[in-house]
Amino acid sequence: MKRWDVIVVGAGHAGIEAANASSKLGCSVLFLTLNIDTIGKLSCNPAVGGIAKSHLVREVDILGGLIAKLTDKTSLQYRILNKSKGKAVRATRVQVDRFAYQAQAKDFILDNKNIEVLEAEVKSLLVKKKRIEGVLTNAGLFRAKTVVICPGTFLNGLVHIGLKNFPSGRLGEPASRKLYDSLVSLGFTLKHFKTGTCARLDRRSLDFSKMTPQEPDKEAWPFSFFTSFRPFNKERCFITHTNPKTHRIIRKNLKYSPLYQGVIKAKGVRYCPSLEDKVVKFSRKERHQIFIEPEGRDSIEVYPNGISTSLPLEVQYEFIHSIEGLGNARIFRPGYGIEHAVIEAKDLFFSLESKKIKGLFFAGQINGTTGYEEAAAQGLVAGINAGLKVKKKEAFIPARDESFTGLLIDDLVSKGTDEPYRMFTSRSELRLSLREDNAPFRLFKDSYKLGLISRRDFSIIEEKLHRIKNEIDRIKKVKIYPSKQTNKVLRSLGEADLAKVDSGFNILKRPKLTYPDLAKLGCGLGLKDRSEVDQVEIEVKYEGFIKRETQQARELKKLARIKIPKGIDYSKLSGLSREIVEKFKYFKPKTLKEASNIPGVTPAAVLILLAYLKKK
């Protein structure tokens, strides 16, 4: 019987990256999934990226992954978030055509000669002497040297619509119960998390004249480093709001809410609350924003982002109809909540291999995360490491201080998570150094070493880096003198006169100056490429902040043993979020290290605590 190098279970966002990465390492891959037509399905909103998530997308991309390429091929609308906050903290968010995305993902996987896809349900794992041997499915037994498990929300999934619930992995798809039982019997610690989604509406039944259009950005830059075409960027979203009537309907019907009646016991996504949660927790807020997002270029379905719910269908109709522009909305698919099982990520090595069973890897939602991007990043790492294990090579462990992918895995494996984990830039000690724009420069060497990008791409990136460095060195040397002409230019840009001679580098630090302005000051321009120009601007303008951030990160490491006295009233520490205050109160850390090891506690929060202790 054939023995595969790698079996990947589950063709969601973790699974497709895992299968693709292992295949790129030259492994034979058997890809098992419940339904081959749902390969790469976007279960929730039709969008990829966003704050911190875009960093993961760009990292997965440079490590040979699919998510950014699929996004560019199926885009509807590009937006750069945080534009006004400066170049170093921007994030790309792209609306995609859900149906095209799935079709492209399927084509991509089916076209890969190293991957054999089979529609089958994995029911149990074949383990001998604490080593994985293969999987048992409804279509028979398959043997492999390594197995990557990515069953997403399907693992013991239970869908809730009002007080009714039924086993399901996603609405209309079966739950994965047997695999859950198998993991339990193998001694894995499993717990349950909850997530939810909103109803999908008939675009034709909405009154867009009562909503505010949200245009795409004028210019769209591809998500993927490897995309060579200008992506489609023409679809609009629309904005509307809930109102006091909507909130009254929600409050009146909380008795039918599985969340508020204790039927759903699992913890939900803190930063993506259901509408019932928003109405109860932020009771003073009179309205909540809703984005009406297109599901596809030619689709009559839309996604009303912001009104995720597990209330009964008749209540969903009632509250949706109370919203401006949605008065006659027809519902195609109801909103629902889902509870699903997750493993304890602390039971994994940093390679995402299980500590209990050799050759068995886990990635995606099953490790306690939420989101396509988080799933993709883990799938990629698990797929690479399954492949490396087959080749008897050392595991690839992306470093926490070099990538958000490393940070994600480090957080999960060393701290675990007691609620669905979503990526935020605040989770990083080095948020100004780890940016979406410099992901290729941070990871291309690793990628090439692993055989995930070609020699040609490696050289292109290396040459870019040289050009950036040379240009920074050059503008450090160019002197600009305080002449009439110089000061005229500076004034026209809204900047103060130059008092004494200075370098192009230092002058570029001025907030209103951009790199092209240097030409007007006689400094010349050594670069044209947008991505290279961006690097120069960011490196120059954020030099001081990046140095400070690096210093603080070092200081935090050194001061880990500092003791925290008893009885601190954390709610009085300004700058701590409600989440962090809750966690400090609950866990009562005794040292700074203990504080930083609490799941969800950010480096920024530890710095606030440190500052407080220093003051004391």
Binding residues for ligand FAD, rule: CB under 6 A, are 9-15, 32-35, 38, 43-44, 121-122, 150-154, 169-170, 176, 179, 195-197, 269, 272, 338, 364-365, 370-372, 375
Q: Please, which residue, 268 or 526, has the CB nearer to ligand FAD?
A: 268
Q: Please, which residue, 34 or 96, has the CB nearer to ligand FAD?
A: 34
Residue 211: CB minimum distance to ligand FAD, A: 22
Inter-axis angle of helices 98-110 and 13-24, nearest 10: 30
Residue 185: CB minimum distance to ligand FAD, A: 15
Q: Please, which residue, 307 or 610, has the CB nearer to ligand FAD?
A: 307
Residue 264: CB minimum distance to ligand FAD, A: 12
What 3-state DSSP class applies to 116?
strand
Residue 11: CB minimum distance to ligand FAD, A: 4
Q: Please, which residue, 338 or 536, has the CB nearer to ligand FAD?
A: 338
Q: Please, which residue, 161 or 521, has the CB nearer to ligand FAD?
A: 161
Distance CA 342, CA 507 (A): 52
Residue 19: CB minimum distance to ligand FAD, A: 11
Residue 269: CB minimum distance to ligand FAD, A: 6
Q: Residue 572: which of 560, 581, 561, 582 has the closest Cα?
A: 581
Residue 130: CB minimum distance to ligand FAD, A: 22
Report the helix count and the strand count for the chain, using DSSP H and E: 20, 22
Q: Which two tokens stand for residue 60?
A: 């997965």
Distance CA 180, CA 211 (A): 45
The residues that bridge with 331 in the sheet, in sequence order, are 201
Q: Which two tokens stand for residue 74?
A: 């199926």
DSSP state string for 408-469 = HHHIIIII--SS-B---GGG-TTTTTS-STTHHHHHHHHHHHTTSS-HHHHHHHHHHHHHHH
Q: Please, which residue, 32 or 453, has the CB nearer to ligand FAD?
A: 32
DSSP state string for 486-551 = HHHHHHHTT-PPP-S-EEHHHHHTSTT--TTHHHHTT-------HHHHHHHHHHHHTHHHHHHHHH
Distance CA 307, CA 288 (A): 9
Distance CA 563, CA 556 (A): 13
First to last CA, the chain: 69
What 3-state DSSP class applies to 8?
strand
Q: Please, which residue, 65 or 152, has the CB nearer to ligand FAD?
A: 152
C-beta of residue 32 within 8 angstroms of C-beta of residue 120: yes
Q: Please, which residue, 58 or 194, has the CB nearer to ligand FAD?
A: 194
Q: Please, which residue, 32 or 595, has the CB nearer to ligand FAD?
A: 32
Residue 111: CB minimum distance to ligand FAD, A: 18
Contacts of 186 (CB under 8 A, 6+ apart): 125, 127, 356, 357
Q: Please, which residue, 44 or 538, has the CB nearer to ligand FAD?
A: 44
Q: Please, which residue, 296 or 589, has the CB nearer to ligand FAD?
A: 296
Residue 200: CB minimum distance to ligand FAD, A: 11
For residue 499, with 0-12 CB atoms within 10 Å meaning exposed, 13-18 middle and 19 or more buried, which class applies? exposed
Distance CA 433, CA 538 (A): 10
Residue 494: CB minimum distance to ligand FAD, A: 40
Eight-state DSSP code of residue 397: -
Residue 565: CB minimum distance to ligand FAD, A: 38
Distance CA 307, CA 284 (A): 17
Q: Please, which residue, 320 or 432, has the CB nearer to ligand FAD?
A: 320
Distance CA 569, CA 567 (A): 6
What 3-state DSSP class applies to 254?
helix
C-beta of residue 447 within 8 angstroms of C-beta of residue 62: yes
Q: Please, which residue, 13 or 431, has the CB nearer to ligand FAD?
A: 13
C-beta of residue 20 within 8 angstroms of C-beta of residue 48: no
Q: Which two tokens stand for residue 375?
A: 């799933």
Q: Residue 93: which of 81, 75, 105, 76 has the closest Cα?
A: 81
Q: Please, which residue, 14 or 521, has the CB nearer to ligand FAD?
A: 14
Query: Side by side, which strands form the sheet with 75-81?
Result: 47-49, 91-96, 75-81
